[in-house]
């Protein structure tokens, strides 16, 4: 029995370790807390493995455990802003600005991983988690809505605003670096 449990946990849960780490890293904002949060998530998940319905969505189940642990135990010491301050979000329609100069957005190719991760980390939490679950982990609106416990319409609007804000940040960075001339103020 124990071997069965271990084998199925390895097959269905442990394969999501990298994904869980990426989500944890963006939620906590630092490596040490991300490590602890992922470890705790895996221990909780293993203890609760009998309650998990085999063959359903293990990744979403694990992310839900991770997020609950984050909210209960880590959020207060995360270096990110805790509340959704919608005024701090500046959605920016980039395409009209670059339409003539670089409509295919090739300037983005010059932006390195760390700058993109930093820009995501600067998004308010509600937008950051929607963007990470969708754009990095490829989850559906329905899955994200269940994990975040919000309606699908809220997921859509957070994704729209979060993506536009992220795009605006990276565009401004590209202009500063001289990757594109741009017309940003």
Partner 1 sequence: MNCGECVEHLYEFLDRELTPELEREVRAHIAECTPCDEQFDFEEMFLKFVRARCQTQGAPPELKRRILRELFGE
Residue ranges in contact with partner 1 by CB under 8 A: 6, 9, 14, 17-18, 20-22, 25, 31, 35, 38-39, 42-43, 46, 95, 98-99, 103-105, 108-109, 111-113, 116-117, 120, 131-132, 134-136, 138, 140-141, 156, 159-160, 163, 166-167
Cβ proximity to partner 1: between 83 and 103 the closer is 103
Per-residue CA distances from 153 to 39, 61, 141, 166 (Å): 32, 21, 9, 20
* Least Å from the CB of residue 67 to partner 1: 17
Residues 52/45, Cβ–Cβ less than 8 Å: yes
Handedness of CA 62, 66, 71, 73 (dihedral sign): positive
Cβ proximity to partner 1: between 22 and 172 the closer is 22
Smallest Cα–Cα separation from 44: which of 27, 77, 75, 69?
Answer: 69
Cβ proximity to partner 1: between 57 and 140 the closer is 140
């Amino acid at each position: 029995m124990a071997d069965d449990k271990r084998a199925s946990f390895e097959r269905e849960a442990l394969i999501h370790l990298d994904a869980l780490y990426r989500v944890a890293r963006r939620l906590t904002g630092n490596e040490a807390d991300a490590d602890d949060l992922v470890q705790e998530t895996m221990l909780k998940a293993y203890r609760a493995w009998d309650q998990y319905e085999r063959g359903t969505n293990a990744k979403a189940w694990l992310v839900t455990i991770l997020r609950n642990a984050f909210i209960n135990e880590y959020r207060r010491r995360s270096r990110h802003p805790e509340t959704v301050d919608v005024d701090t979000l500046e959605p920016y329609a980039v395409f009209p600005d670059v339409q003539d100069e670089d409509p295919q957005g090739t300037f983005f190719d010059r932006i390195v991983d760390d700058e993109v991760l930093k820009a995501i980390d600067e998004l308010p939490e509600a937008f950051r988690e929607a963007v990470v679950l969708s754009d990095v982990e490829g989850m559906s609106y329905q899955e994200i809505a269940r994990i975040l416990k919000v309606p699908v319409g809220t997921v859509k609007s957070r994704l729209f605003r979060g993506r536009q804000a992220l795009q605006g940040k990276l565009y401004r960075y590209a202009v500063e670096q001289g990757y594109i001339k741009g017309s940003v103020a």
